[in-house]
Structures are given as C-alpha cells and as structure tokens.
Amino acid sequence: MQRRTRLGARIAKLLLPLALLACDPKEAVTPTAAAPVAGAPAIDPLEVEVETIRVARGSLQARVSVPGSIVARRVSRIGAEVRGRIEKVFVDEGDRVVAGDPLFQIDREPFEVNLRQAEAGLALAQSERKQIEADLRRVEELEKKAIASINERDRMRTNLAVAGAREAQAKEGVALARHNLEQTVITAPFSGSIAARLVDEGTTALVQPQTIVVVLHETAELEAEGRIPESQLAVVQIGDPALVHVEGQPQPIETVVASVGDTIDEATRTYSVRMHVPNADHRLKAGVFARIEIIPREERDALLVPRDSVRSEAGRTRVLVVREGRAEAVPVELGIASGDQAEVLSGIELGSEVIVGASARDIAPGMRVRVVPPERAKATP
C-alpha cells in the first residue's frame, strides 16, 4: 500500500507543471509553420519543381544507324542451256574462279554427232543449189534458141529460190549445232567464289526446269544492305558518306550510299539502301551481320528539342509543356534525331516551354509545376 501511495505522489508532481501551462494561454505551446524568408515567394507543397527549355531553331545533322547485312553484289545460279549427262564438275564449294574459267562439262558426244549431221545437211543443200543453178543456165540458153519454153525457165528459177532457202536453213542448223556443242562447257560469267555445288558427275542436266549445278557469288566487291525507316525518307541520299561496322573488323569500312530504294515496304514501313564494300582480300563473307551508319551531307534548319524531353506511349510521341503552371502533354511528330537533339515536325511552336530531364519521364500530365534553375530541379515520384 505504501509503495502505491509513493508512486501516485510522484506522478502528481510530474503532471502539475503541465496542468499549470494548460491553464495559462500565454505559455501554451502550439505547432506553427516556419515563417517564410522575407522577400521569398510562397512555396506550394503540391507543386513539382521542374527544369524547362524553350524550343529553338538550330542545325541538325543526323547519323542514321540501322542493322544490315553484307551481301554479294551479284549472285548467279548457273545451270546448263542444253540437256545432257554431266561429265565433269571442275569446281567445288569455296573455290575462287575468274571470268571464263570452266565450271562443269556435259557429255559432248551427242552434240558432236548433231553437228556432223547438220554439216552434212548443209553440204547436200549446197550441192542441190549448185545443180539447179547449172540447170537454170542451160534452160536459159535453150530458151534463147526457142528450144525451151518460158514456163520451163520460170520453173527452174523457182526451184533455185527453194534450194537457196534450204541452204540457208541448213546453215542455221549448223550454227545451232555448233552453239549447242559449245554450251557443253559452262564457264564463269564473272569472277567470284563458288557458294554451292549442287550436283555431281553423272547427273542428267535438264533445261526446263533448269538443273542448277553451281551457285556463284561475286566476292571481290560486296554490298552492305540495310533498311531505313520511312520517317527518315528525305534524309538519306545517294552519295552520302557511310560507315559499315562488321564484327571482327578493327576499323569500320568507309563507303558511300550507292542506291536508295524507290518503294516502301508496306509491312515494315522501311526502304532499302545499298553501298559498295571493297573485298579484294576476301576477308569478308557474304551473309554476315553489319551495322550501317549513314552520315547525311545536308544539315537541316529545324525546330529542336532535347531527346530526354520526348516520351513515347502506346505508339504516340509527346512532350510536356508548361501552361498556366501545369504540365500539359502535347502530341508531336518527330523527324530526324542526332545526339541529344530531335527535330520536331509538328505539335509545338518556336518558343514553347518544354519540360526536360527526369521530370519529363516521371511526372504526369496535369500536375502543378514550378520552373526552377537546373541545379534546383527535382522530380517527385
């Protein structure tokens, strides 16, 4: 009991000063807001501090970087022009050939026989023509002496014309037979490398459908091929400098744009570009991946915004501008981009105040904002 009495007395002593303060309003302590610094603007705790930049005009030279491939400049799938048994294939996959080198040979014997028959037919036609010429001269002499009739003379002249036509036909037959014989040895139409050997000796080569024997790639000079987005249609032109980056090559290959496609692929909304890639040492192989970097020669005078001010959502591109103290989302259409700058084609005007930095990514449209110098800018999640 005594311990409880002493504990109550101690509590009463502690509560007494608090009770006295509560009775005296002058001494009462109430929480108050910190007094603002003299001359400083009032701070709204609901506002987000942001950094902005005004849209201005400037020169822009974009580097267009796209994935691509190294491809053969020319590819020929070579078969036979005449039907026959393949007697010999002179090349194998990976072999290098120069223009005119033999690739494969078809059995020549049947074509040699055809040529001899055609030549014999030509000799016969020539003999017949010569005989009719002699007969015609004799009839013409007899016609002068009134021994032969005019009808006989005209008949002989007609026979001579027919014989001449047969001789011409026989000559064409000989030319065709000789051409077919020449086609039994197929040669390389250009210098390159054998990409594939598809048949072996003993195969019967057909003309329709054609039997492809070898595939030839031109490799002394290759091409880099890439596809450019439709949005950069007016950027890339023939003659623009380009760099071709190939894995394993210590330095990019310097070249220029050689061709620009005239049509847009409806599925990918891209168009093709090609550029020559020298390959005299044959170090590059057709089919390898490459990164193509095109440097347009023309600098464009354009409305520019920082790239970190642009946000893409649901397939739409927009920036945040400050209007009447709030962040407002404005859809924009972008052109080319280079480094940390992007061209604005439509959506905002010269002098518009665009939010940049982390705030452009983090804040939501409609939030109240206060523009501050860059060193004070901060984003509120």
The ranges assigned to domains in the chain are 48-61+300-376, 64-72+219-294, 80-108+184-217, 109-181
How far apart are the C-alpha atoms of 130 and 213, rounded to whole Å? 46
Q: Supply angle C-alpha 68, 72, 73, rounded to 5.
A: 105
For the domain made up of 109-181, the CATH class stated in words is mainly alpha
> Which CATH number describes the domain made up of 48-61+300-376?
2.40.420.20
For residue 45, what pLDDT is reported? 63
For residue 298, what pLDDT is reported? 61
- Is 3.50.40.10 the CATH classification of the domain at 80-108+184-217? no
Retrieve residue 355's tokens.
């939010």
> Which CATH number describes the domain made up of 64-72+219-294?
2.40.30.170
Alpha-carbon torsion (115, 119, 121, 122), positive or negative: positive
> Which stretch of DSSP H or E encloses residue 322?
strand 316-323
**DSSP code, position 297:** S
- Residue entry with tokens 């000799």: 123
- Going residue by residue through the chain (381 aa), what tens digit of pLDDT does each one get? 444 445 455 544 444 444 444 444 444 444 444 444 445 455 556 788 888 888 888 777 667 889 999 999 899 999 999 999 999 999 999 999 999 999 999 999 999 999 999 999 999 999 999 998 988 888 888 877 777 788 888 888 898 999 999 999 999 999 999 999 999 999 999 999 999 999 999 999 998 889 999 999 998 889 999 999 887 777 788 999 999 999 888 899 999 999 999 899 889 899 999 999 998 888 888 889 999 999 876 666 778 888 888 888 777 888 888 888 888 888 888 876 766 778 888 888 888 888 888 878 888 888 888 888 765 444 434
For residue 374, what pLDDT is reported? 60
- Residue entry with tokens 């002989």: 156
For residue 168, what pLDDT is reported? 95
Rg of the chain over all Cα atoms, to the nearest angstrom: 46
Question: 98 with 220: CB under 8 angstroms?
Answer: no
Q: If we measure between CA atoms, which residue out of 182, 206, 197 comes closest to residue 97?
A: 197
Q: What is the pTM of this model?
A: 0.57
Point out which residues pair with 344 in neighbouring strands: 303, 334
